[in-house]
Amino acid sequence: MKSLFGNLIAAGFIGVVTLFSLPAAAQDAGFYIGGAFGQTRVDNDPAPFTALGAVVTGNDEKNSMFQFFGGYQINKNLGVEVAYVDLGAFGVSGTIGGLPFSAFGDVTGFSVSGVATLPVSEKFSFYGTLGAFYSKVKAQAAVAAVAGAAKDGETDVTAGVGLKYALTKNMAARLGVTHYGLGDNGDALAYSLGLQYKF
């Protein structure tokens, strides 16, 4: 996943460099809103639990996700976007000392990103995003009937690439993959399909 993250960063920079070589179109400026849904994947490492003598029988690394976003298109090649993202819950379960245990974290957050767009036809465009992501993890752990909870917030990098298809003058579909850094809590990769409406 680290190598993919590096590729996403590189793609974002390439997109930014590319946009400066293309003519801007003022008529493309305007605000937009949208939403998307999809699937998130994280890398759960059960080693900390097995080191305590736990037997891990469940490892939930995938979950559904959704996001709401809004932004401003400065011209046809450059924009800025903010988003609320719910990446889902992830964790492990099993037994420790013969007792059932579980440890799960629910991940949500906000992102602020620059968006570079490269039109390839009248309908299709490639886009890349690069920005900051503030994640909030609500963790819960339980051993038998004893349970506990904790919260943690981290700020890290987010980057993504995708394809946009213009359905109408104001409506477009977006298909993308986005990396979300979660600080000390690892990272997540989200695959999403969404709709964008431009005012």
For residue 68, give the CATH number of its domain.
2.40.160.20
* Mean pLDDT of the residues in the chain: 86
Helix runs in the chain, H state only: 2-19, 47-50
pLDDT > 70? residue 20 = no
**CA-CA distances (angstroms) from residue 33 to 55, 80, 183?**
46, 12, 28
Q: Residue 190 corresponds to which tokens in the numbers above?
A: 């989200």
Question: Is the Cα torsion angle 179, 157, 112, 124 positive or negative in sign?
Answer: negative
pLDDT for res 146:
86
pTM to 2 decimals?
Answer: 0.80
CA distance linking residue 197 with residue 188, whole number of Å:
26
For residue 44, what pLDDT band results from cuts at 50, 70 and 90? confident
pLDDT for res 24:
45
CA distance linking residue 108 with residue 40, whole number of Å:
12
Per the structure, the count of domains in the chain is: 1
Residue 98's CB is within 10 A of a number of other CB atoms, namely 7
CA distance linking residue 120 with residue 136, whole number of Å:
37
pLDDT > 50? residue 147 = yes
- The pLDDT tens digits for 74-129 are 998 999 999 999 999 998 888 988 899 888 889 999 999 999 999 999 999 999 99
CA distance linking residue 11 with residue 75, whole number of Å:
20
pLDDT > 60? residue 21 = no
Q: Residue 143: give the domain boundaries.
A: 2-198
pLDDT for res 8:
47
CA distance linking residue 100 with residue 49, whole number of Å:
13
Q: What is the DSSP letter of 59?
A: E
Q: Are 34 and 197 in contact (CB under 8 A)?
A: yes
